Amino acid sequence: MQGIENAKVDMYEYLPVPFGLVRYGVAPDHPEVKNCQDKFTEIATSPNFNFIGNVEIGRDVPLKSFTNHYDAILFAYGASKDRKLGIPGEDQLDGIYSARNFVGWYNGLPEFSKLAPQLDVSDTAVIIGQGNVALDVARILLQGVDALRTTDMTDQALAVLSKSRVKRVRVVGRRGPMQVSFTIKEVRELMKLPAVAFHPVDATLIPPDVSSLPRTAKRLMKLLMEGSRGELAQAKKSWALDFLLSPVQFHSSNGTGPPQLGSIEFANMRLVGDDAFDPAAKVERGPDRHSIPTSLAFRSVGYQSEALLGMSELGISFDTKRGIIVNDYYGRLSTQVGDENAAQPIPGMYCAGWVKRGPTGVIANTMEDSFATAEAIIGDWNNKAPFLGGGNGWESIRNEGLIRSKRTVSWQDWLRIDAAEKARGQPFGKEREKFTDTGDMLRTLD
């Protein structure tokens, strides 16, 4: 809106509430990360901005209909699915959860309000994957529940966590310490948890001359070598980073009743190449196997975007392998045509965030990426590049009755939901108590 005079922006959201990953993906004990909501709220107060919540594009309104009412369409809907391991037992046994679903559950995402994770079945939890989300899950499992009571974590999640039996968390990855994708901040927070100790890392996996490493890698290796403040012998809880293990199969326990996870079988991996400490080093599977007994596991191996209904009708190409909309890396949509797969731009179509470049990075990376797409739109407009037909946007969509039998939510409606959540949380000293059901959100507007 700042780069193009008199530009108007309509933002359509699947849920009745805004903020997406900030509201439902950021850990409750990281309130400072959610400060970007203040900037978003400032933008939303502009008379040139419309928030239209509770609308599923492609189902509640045909995607194609937008092309007749807008100059440009920007896709920024993130990654709604998580990647699976694709190994035996993954979908058959109780006690195996997606880290994405678990994070959504404790953050109040309506889609996962009925998850009911069984945290009382095992004193050991295994998290497969070594990214920041995996460490978020580990921290929530290990942190004392009293430290979370004043956050915006749902009461439902607090009740389940208060009954958790988990005393040890093992965060397992298929490569080594030099190839991990988590950040220093996440590890440091785990190291500082009171009454929680860290199992030492195998020293042979750490480069012998840490001082010669680049700054970020050097800081991370030193942190792993120093470990936690607490001693294992005195600590009530502990956690470990297990490297060079790749899951092969989930095995059932031999008990009666529903099939329950009993152990996880891993293949021992080995780093290959001239430099095993190269951050880009590859691994190969060895002949040995390793088993970890547990009745509780979390899969945290990445997210994945999906194509929206109606995209193919508009000639939009979606790369299912990478989980992104095909684009020129600046955010301009392009379609693959012809035998040589020559990319052809689609006028007036853009993308940003995870659906543009894949589910990597933190919120700051996504914001920078979005700024780059905005610059591409501004440049194209100023250079008089082809766009869509234009129109009156939401005003025309609403007046023509294109939204199919559904209550839409405006920004003013969201402010009422926001006030209701804050009022619900006030008696408990919380910033808010989120609604975990879209019906309850909408009933506050009646």
pLDDT tens over the chain, length 446 residues: 678 888 999 999 999 999 998 999 998 998 888 888 888 999 999 999 999 999 999 999 999 999 999 999 999 999 888 899 999 999 999 999 999 999 999 999 999 999 999 999 999 999 999 999 999 999 999 999 999 999 999 999 999 999 999 999 999 999 999 999 999 999 999 999 999 999 999 999 999 999 999 999 999 999 999 998 778 888 999 999 999 999 999 999 876 667 999 999 999 999 998 888 999 999 999 999 999 999 999 999 989 899 999 999 999 999 988 899 999 989 999 876 444 456 678 999 999 999 999 888 777 788 888 999 999 999 999 999 999 988 899 999 988 888 876 899 999 999 999 999 999 999 999 999 999 999 999 999 99
Q: Tokens 């309509």 correspond to what residue?
A: 10
Task: Say what the pTM is.
Answer: 0.92
Among 189, 209, 218, 112, residue whose Cα is nearest residue 157: 112
Contact 347, 388 (CB under 8 A): yes
Letter string b/e over residues 172-188, b meaning 16 or more CB atoms within 10 A of that residue's CB? bbbbbbbbbebeeebbe
Which residues make Cβ contacts (< 8 Å) with residue 32, sequence separation at least 6? Answer: none
Q: How many helices (H) and strands (E) does the chain have?
A: 12, 18
Contact 152, 431 (CB under 8 A): yes
